[in-house]
Structure 1
Amino acid sequence: METKELILKKALDMFAKSGYDSVSIRDIAKAVNIKESSIYYHFKNKQDILDSLVEKFESHMKELTDMLQASMSDSHNVNAFSWDWLREFYFEQYLFDTFCNQMMRFMMIEQFHNENMRMLYERYLFELPHKIQTQSFMMLSKLGILSEQQAIKVSNDFFASITMLTFKYLLNGKLTKTKKEAFSEETFTYINRMFQED
């Protein structure tokens, strides 16, 4: 891993545990095992590290959202929305992704101290996931699998459930394989139950 990426990784490790203000350039340099002056070769200051992390996260989210939109663009393709699709795009590349998970934890801490981070927290933990989930279930309505009313109800119920499970398993303590498996199992059990009720 290149030094610049290692600086970002170690900084995020610490930011996600202790918050931005509790971590110094000296702490980051020590974690990377380089001199403090070496950090300034790659970044202007600590704020530049934060800005780079946010830019990287937003770039990842745009790429992921674009892939999701492309997979949903064919309204006649019933395979475009599947549990494999949900697991691959929404779980593996977002919720279970180490970088994304740490950014979510960091945003949770910083929302109380930094207005920009609060807006990111609201956008990426609530607004964007709800929008994507609603679009996904509305696609099932277009395919005739659910009525529009059912799609809206299932989407809202699913969003509430998956948000609760995200906080219970993925943003609570260390992210482990066991927690990911429990999250997946409870999520798919809940989804199956929702469709059986409808």
Structure 2
Amino acid sequence: MTTKEKILKEALELFAVKGYDGVSVREIAGAVGVRESALYKHFKNKEDILNNIIDATKERIAGAYIENQVPEAVEPDVAGGYRRLTTEKLCEISWNLFQLYTKDPVVSNIRKLLMREQFSNSIIAKKYNQFFLNGVVERQAQTFAALVEDGVFRKEDTKIIALQFYGPIFLLFQRYDCEPEQEEAIKRMLYEHVRAFGRNYSRKEEQAL
């Protein structure tokens, strides 16, 4: 692990325990075992450290999307990619990504950190909104637009479709944070949500009525 990587690791662990505002650059340097001046060779300030943690988290998430063969990450034809996936495979992918956001030591910690710190730091509030709230809805709306255009889903407001898909999953994140011992029950709920969502918006279901 390089010094830069160690700085990011130690900073995230400190932020997760003490909060962003409760940690100083000097404290991060001490946890890494370097002088404060040495830390500034790698990062401009504490916000730069946080931004780099977020960038690294995005790369981690992108890697997981590729590993799980999510169509947006691996297919030029997004709608075609989803057409080829069975409902059960979609459930499996959704659960794998759910675990990334709730169990991965980097992704889970940054999610909880931004969620907690948004109330006391307007800059972090914007990052949280872009990373885990409105930004997610905007990105998913693009996917659903492709599915609507291709005739996979019936024609509806794609932002509303995205909100109805992501909203329950976001709620399940919070439930998992409070009740990790209920993992199996939460997994069943996630699977049923994905199935019900597909039935609700599928053009096939619409044509069968």
Which residues of structure 2 form unaligned runs of 5+?
none
The CA distance in 2 between the partners of 1:8 and 1:47, in whole Å, is: 12
Q: Residue 19 of structure 1 aligns with which residue?
A: 19
Q: CA deviation at 1:94?
A: 5.1
Q: Residue 107 of structure 2 aligns with which residue?
A: 100
Q: CA deviation at 1:26?
A: 4.1
Equivalenced residues, count = 192
- CA RMSD in angstroms comes to 3.6
Q: Is 2:3 the counterpart of 1:3?
A: yes
Q: Residue 112 of structure 1 aligns with which residue?
A: 119
Q: Does the Cα contact within 8 Å between 1:140 and 1:146 map onto a contact in 2?
A: yes
Q: Residue 69 of structure 1 aligns with which residue?
A: 72
Q: Residue 84 of structure 2 aligns with which residue?
A: 79
The CA distance in 1 between the partners of 2:156 and 2:49, in whole Å, is: 45
Q: Is 2:150 the counterpart of 1:156?
A: no
Q: CA deviation at 1:192?
A: 1.9
Which residues of structure 1 form unaligned runs of 5+?
none
Secondary structure at the counterpart of residue 98 of structure 1: coil
Q: CA deviation at 1:185?
A: 3.0
Q: Residue 28 of structure 1 aligns with which residue?
A: 28
The CA distance in 2 between the partners of 1:21 and 1:152, in whole Å, is: 34
The CA distance in 2 between the partners of 1:73 and 1:28, in whole Å, is: 42
The CA distance in 2 between the partners of 1:143 and 1:51, in whole Å, is: 37
Q: Residue 53 of structure 1 aligns with which residue?
A: 53
Q: CA deviation at 1:36?
A: 3.5
Q: Does the Cα contact within 8 Å between 2:12 and 2:110 map onto a contact in 1?
A: yes
Q: Is 2:189 the counterpart of 1:186?
A: yes
The CA distance in 2 between the partners of 1:97 and 1:103, in whole Å, is: 10
Normalised by the length of structure 2, the TM-score is 0.68
The CA distance in 1 between the partners of 2:109 and 2:80, in whole Å, is: 36
